[in-house]
Chain A
């Protein structure tokens, strides 16, 4: 992998560990109950500092999608072209992952997991 492990924050550790267990974890604010996108020290909406990790159903809708033709590193060259999507999970958090070719904005999807080199990654697949 080209990602430098040393720059990884511990803040997202529950999410990263969740991937290896094939679940999607996200933070939720205990004050305003809103789901957080990425990992935060304080609620991105109300600023409250008590965020707790929950497990998502993995269901959501495609918010944005691209097909990567030019991989940024050797580690992904063999996969290209591959589809990446930002999905709005039904709990409200947004998450980037791989996606089945051909998915469109607005499509209902569910999270699946796959192993690439030494990492577990998310692939969103169409529902039904």
Chain B
């Protein structure tokens, strides 16, 4: 297939970049551990997974934490964790930060600037602040003059977007609910998931209205947790997980400025990634797609082209996105059920893809993927990052 032609894809002078190891904390309420504690736990696990020692890490990228808004989070973390990289800084692109850090880590490795880049984020978003405080902080992603003064919240921005998309694409509340149930079923197979109580479509439809058409079970939880990955020029022995394509798109920041719900930037970012990888959506056999709300996941799948407009839920009902379907999706349970602690929540999709490639997914293991597509968005479909991973060996 396309695998062979990819081996020497890209410019000869560029090095290849591989995901070499991953680590995580459980997600949920992790009382008594702060942001740096959580980051350190995940980073330690990633070092062990990659078979690297601290001195071999020469690049560090850290995702922002709302409970620790530090000017130099990467330095703060490196000092404590005893790393002395040649390249380090924090990053912020909302929910797309994790994927954006992985994209940059790849470029740092490809250019030869770094050999082993630690990408890490964590946050005690649930236990480190009140729920009201978290909701208020997140609502500031809205426009300070035109949106926030109305008493709009993040679910309200997504509720508004959902109403328009459902109107244009013919999507129902039942369609959205299918994704909540799928993510919950997946999370029930992961020992580190935040939410594991079984739910049905009827439960989703009967849950408390948050920002109609979105109900409580259409929304991800607020969690504590951390994730870390190491991007390296030297793959591990055995299965190699190569980063073969990446793309971004940034069309707007605020929901009001989203001109067309059918063209948010997700498709544009994906197109760049697929072009670089020399692949198409038909080559993909594993999906890790951002799912802050059910509508987020449905819209991304349809805009990128993994389902026709208005048809993504039908693919869920057919079992296509299930563990043993043709296109397994977020087998860890996604933000909707594995949990969401900010940047790390959006990194979990890639951590899970790595585990699926390398046969480390336990009860969640799918038929070993060949090509995985990863997508993350920040804001209200505002910042988009697409990644494509391919298996070698």
Chain A residues packing against B (C-beta within 8 Å): 1-4, 7-9, 12, 15-16, 37-39, 44, 63-76, 79, 81-82, 84-86, 94-98, 105, 116, 119, 121-122
Contact = CB atoms under 8 A, between A and B. Distances in A.
Name the interface size band of chain B.
35 or more
Contacts of B67: none
A73 B150 contact: no
A69 B132 contact: no
Given A66-B160, A72-B139, 6 more contacts: A1-B149, A2-B136, A4-B144, A12-B146, A96-B152, A116-B151
B210 interface: yes
Given A12-B146, A86-B160, A75 B151 contact: yes
Given A2-B136, A38-B254, A66 B159 contact: yes
Interface in B152-211: 152-153, 155-156, 159-164, 167, 208-211
A105 B163 contact: yes
A37 B254 CA distance: 10
Given A38-B254, A72-B135, A76-B151, A15 B146 contact: yes
B392 interface: no
A37 B151 contact: no
Contacts of A69: 208-212
- Indicate the member of A70, A94, A96 with the most B CB atoms within 10 Å: A96
B58 interface: no
Interface string B258-270: 0100000000000
B16 to A, nearest CB: 39
A74 B155 CA distance: 16
A68 B159 contact: yes
B150 A9 contact: no
B143 interface: yes
B250 to A, nearest CB: 13
Contacts of B272: none
B151 A73 contact: yes
B241 interface: no
Interface string B197-234: 00000000000111111100000000000000000000
A65 B150 CA distance: 13
B160 A65 contact: yes
Contacts of A68: 151-153, 155-156, 159, 210-211
A69 to B, nearest CB: 4
B136 A72 contact: yes
B264 to A, nearest CB: 13
20 contacts: A2-B136, A4-B140, A7-B140, A12-B145, A38-B254, A39-B146, A64-B163, A66-B214, A67-B159, A68-B152, A68-B155, A68-B156, A71-B151, A72-B136, A72-B151, A84-B150, A86-B160, A96-B143, A96-B150, A98-B150
Given A72-B153, A86-B255, A38 B146 contact: yes
B131 to A, nearest CB: 10
B209 A16 contact: no
Contacts of A72: 135-136, 139, 151-153, 156
**Best-buried of A1, A73, A105, A121 by chain B (most CB within 10 Å):** A73
Contacts of B149: 1, 3, 119, 121
Contacts of A44: 257
Contact of A7 (B136, B144, B163, B255): B144
B148 interface: yes
Point out which of A12, A16, A72, A76 has the most chain B C-beta atoms below 10 A from its C-beta: A72
Nearest to A98: B150
A82 B160 CA distance: 13
A81 B161 CA distance: 18
Contact of B145 (A15, A37, A63, A122): A15
Contacts of B146: 12, 15, 38-39, 95-96
Given A68-B153, A81-B209, A84-B156, A105 B164 contact: yes
B165 to A, nearest CB: 9
A73 B164 contact: no
Contacts of B213: 66
A44 B254 CA distance: 13
Contacts of B129: none
Nearest to B213: A66
Given A9-B145, A70-B153, A86-B160, A96 B256 contact: yes
Contact of B163 (A65, A96, A116): A65
B29 to A, nearest CB: 20
Contact of A70 (B143, B147, B155): B155
Nearest to B138: A72
